Amino acid sequence: MSRGSGPPCAQRSLVGPQARRRPRRLAIEVPDPSAPRVTSARRALGRYGEDLAARHLTAVGMRILDRNWRCQEGEVDIVAADGDALVLCEVKARRAGAYEHPMAAVRPEKAARLRRLAERWLEQHGGPPPGGVRIDVIGVVLPSRGAPLVEHVRGVT
C-alpha cells in the first residue's frame, strides 16, 4: 500500500486504528464590541486608586483581608476588617475634571450588587462576623498637580 511521496510525518491516516486525531484548534476569545474597553492607562489609574484606598484604610486602623476578590457575580475591590466588622469597599478613581465625581458612579444597583457579593464572600470565608457587614465607598480624585484626594463614605446602603 503506497502512502504517497511526501515525508512520513506529513502523511496521516484518517481511518482505522492508525488514525490520528486532528490537532485541536485553540479557541480565540473575541471581545464584545459593545463592551467598554479598559485601556492600560485606565487600568493603571484604577490600580493606583485602589493602592491609595488600601493605604487610607490601613492608616485609619483597618486590616486589609483581601484585594480584588472575584466570584461569578463580580469583584470586590477591597475587603477589610474594622474591629469586629467586615467592610467591603468599592473604590472609584477619577482624574480631576472628569465628567462625574467618583462617588456618583456607585448607584443603588451597584450597592445591591456589593451586598450580594458580601454574602458570597461570607459563604466562602466562614459566615458573618460579630460586628456585622458594612459597605463603604472610597473615591479618589487625582488632580493634575498636588496630592490625590481620598474620600471615604462609610455604610453605603
Q: What is the set of domains in the chain, with CATH numbers?
A: 40-153 (3.40.1350.10)
Are 135 and 114 within 8 A, CB to CB? yes
Report pLDDT for 15: 59
Are 92 and 106 within 8 A, CB to CB? yes
**Block means of pLDDT (10 residues each) for the chain, length 157 residues?**
53 57 60 64 86 95 94 91 93 77 74 89 87 91 88 86
Report pLDDT for 96: 78
Report pLDDT for 65: 93
CA 148 from chain centre, in angstroms, equals 22
Report pLDDT for 128: 82
Report pLDDT for 89: 92
Q: Evaluate if pTM is beyond 0.85.
A: no
Report pLDDT for 41: 80
Do strands 133-142 and 74-82 pair parallel, antiparallel, or not at all (unpaired)?
A: unpaired
Report pLDDT for 58: 96
